């Protein structure tokens, strides 16, 4: 039986493992303080910059495949505990990554193998879903989980993303010419490229009625989602902003919201000129130019570019920003472009109003996904049965 659409999809558990730590509140406070997790990651082959945001908890023992399983399993268990669940019984698993352990170990089996082993360690009988859509993979894992729940194919999901650093990924950033020789500065006038990071985030998502039935806390809601693919280039984003705007407007339409309802937007913010300019065009098309719109979150200055994990990590960050009505300062941003269309927190946190957030991820190959999130303490306060967004792509 398909659950009714007026039974929202709630986030009841969340956990992460990042370059700033693994505790939700610990990391949140460090992000609010403007900290970053970059440190030297020596490479056997010369690269443009040896700075990378490595896990604060350090590398796990074993090969790359084992490290993926260990990080994902540990993060999933902490998300279950946060949701008040003793184990993963009754959960479907949906995990995203870019290339998983394959960038350095092409013989490591299929991209499903690490997810399958994670499921075995979590004692989940149903085969997991493994998503590999470049940098949007973590967000796409959440959309798959939400779709399974909405379609009545799952009651509860563990969903998220993981990507770990490796020599090949460091070399890849350098060889593509997108690696900063200095530091990652999203949307800064002096931005000169991105820097790699590693991390994981896993969320427990389930129908609100099920969460309320067991007295679970609700961190927030996954209200809508939308995707698009520009098909313009393997490596470059759609600089017109049309594809990104489609994803944003589709997520708003799914959730029955208008652009004016959004209080905060998490942008991909890789600090490459092409990405940052493309996202500026996206928000101009959606929110217009000159009007005060949502406050911007841009996490990569703190966490590095965590590839397939970024969408999941930034979903947790957006829910925390909604919870505390606060957007953290964008790490290393000192001088914003004078024509940037949205407020950028520089040097200090910025107040956020409203109960909705967007999380936009832009992936290599044109994959673009946007999630619409709602603050958790507003359960049932707003009627979402009104007509879907009528916003047009400007």
Give the model confidence (pLDDT) of 17-43 as tens digits. 999 999 999 999 999 999 999 999 888
Residue of 102, 219, 305, 332 with catalytic role:
305
Q: In the annotation, is 112 catalytic?
A: no
The pLDDT score that the predictor gives to residue 383 is: 43
Question: Model confidence over 345-361: pLDDT tens digits?
Answer: 999 999 999 999 999 99
Q: Which residues contact residue 353 at a Cβ distance below 8 angstroms, ignoring those fewer than 6 apart?
A: 263, 325
Tell how many helices (H) and how many strands (E) occur in the chain.
Answer: 10, 14
Q: In the annotation, is 268 catalytic?
A: yes
Contact indicator for 92, 145 with CB cutoff of 8 Å: yes
Residue of 173, 219, 268, 332 with catalytic role:
268
Q: In the annotation, is 157 catalytic?
A: no
Reduced to 3 states (helix: H, G, I; strand: E, B; else coil), residue 267 is coil
CA torsion sign, 204 to 205 to 206 to 207?
A: positive
The pLDDT score that the predictor gives to residue 290 is: 64
For the chain, residues classed under CATH 3.40.47.10 are 9-213, 222-378
CATH domain 9-213 topology: Peroxisomal Thiolase; Chain A, domain 1 (3.40.47)
Candidate CATH numbers 3.40.47.10, 3.40.50.300, 2.40.40.20, 2.40.160.40; the one for domain 222-378: 3.40.47.10
Residue of 91, 135, 157, 370 with catalytic role:
135
The values of phi and psi at residue 46, to 5°, are: -55, 135
| C-alpha to C-alpha distance for 55 and 58, rounded to whole angstroms | 5
112 DSSP 8-state letter: T
Residue 2 has pLDDT above 90, yes or no: no
The radius of gyration of the chain's CA atoms, rounded to the nearest angstrom, is 19
């Amino acid at each position: 039986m398909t659950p009714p659409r007026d039974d929202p999809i709630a986030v009841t558990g969340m956990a992460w493992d990042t370059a700033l730590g693994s505790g939700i509140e610990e990391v949140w406070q460090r992000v609010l303080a403007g900290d970053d997790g970059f440190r030297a990651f020596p490479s056997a082959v010369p690269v443009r910059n040896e700075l990378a945001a490595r896990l604060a908890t350090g590398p796990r023992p074993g090969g790359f495949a084992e490290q993926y399983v260990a990080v994902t399993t540990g993060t999933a268990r902490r998300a279950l505990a946060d949701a008040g669940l003793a184990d993963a019984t009754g959960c479907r698993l949906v995990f995203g990554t870019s290339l998983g352990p394959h960038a350095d170990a092409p013989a490591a089996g299929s991209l499903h193998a690490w997810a399958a082993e994670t499921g075995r360690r979590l004692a989940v009988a149903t085969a997991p879903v493994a998503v590999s859509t470049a940098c949007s993979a973590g967000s796409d894992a959440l959309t798959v989980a939400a779709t399974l729940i909405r379609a009545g194919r799952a009651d509860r999901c563990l969903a998220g993303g993981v990507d770990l650093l490796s020599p090949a990924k460091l070399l890849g950033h350098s060889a593509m010419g997108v690696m900063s020789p200095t530091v990652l500065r999203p949307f800064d006038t002096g931005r000169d490229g991105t820097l790699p990071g590693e991390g994981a985030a896993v969320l427990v998502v389930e129908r609100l009625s099920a969460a309320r039935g067991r007295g679970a806390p609700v961190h927030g809601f996954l209200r809508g989602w939308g995707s698009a693919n520009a098909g313009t280039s393997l490596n470059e984003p759609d600089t017109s902003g049309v594809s990104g705007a489609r994803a944003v407007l589709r997520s708003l339409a799914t959730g029955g919201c208008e652009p004016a309802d959004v209080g905060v937007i998490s942008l991909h913010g890789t600090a490459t000129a092409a990405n940052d300019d493309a996202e500026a065009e996206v928000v101009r098309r959606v929110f217009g130019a000159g009007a005060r719109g949502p406050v911007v979150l841009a996490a990569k200055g703190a966490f590095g570019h965590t590839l397939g994990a970024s969408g999941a990590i930034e979903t947790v960050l957006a829910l925390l920003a909604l919870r505390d009505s606060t957007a953290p300062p964008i790490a290393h941003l000192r001088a914003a472009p004078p024509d940037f269309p949205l407020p950028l927190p520089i040097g200090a946190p910025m107040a956020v109003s409203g109960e909705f957030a967007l999380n936009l991820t832009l992936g290599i190959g044109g994959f673009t996904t946007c999630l619409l999130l709602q603050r958790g303490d507003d359960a049932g306060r707003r009627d979402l049965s009104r007509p879907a967004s009528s916003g047009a792509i400007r």
